[in-house]
Structure 1
Amino acid sequence: MSTILVGFVIALRDAPILYVAVRWANATIRSTVFFIFGRLLIRSQC
């Protein structure tokens, strides 16, 4: 029982870090996709 409680506390403590990591990964992927699409659009217009 105590091990479950300790695991729950650790998960709660690490939750914001995981949340920030997921948000950062999503933002990075999104900006990369936008960058690639922007380069393709500029190349197709020229």
Structure 2
Amino acid sequence: MDTGKSKKQNLSTNNIKSSILKMGAKTIFFDVNLAANDKKYLKITES
């Protein structure tokens, strides 16, 4: 059975680059990750 923790650990090993942009009250995270098929993808998260 998969747990959230194991998924999170798996994602962290596929992380190539991370950057943080702070704009006032907003914070934007840019993460370049490696997919299972060895292709890079960009994940943008706003908080």
TM-score in same-fold range (> 0.5): no
Structure having the higher helix fraction is 1
Greater strand percent: which structure? 2
Q: Considering Cα pairs closer than 8 Å and 6+ residues apart, tell me whether 1 or 2 has the greater RCO.
A: 2
Using the size of structure 1 for normalisation, the TM-score is 0.30
Relative to the length of structure 2, the TM-score reads: 0.29
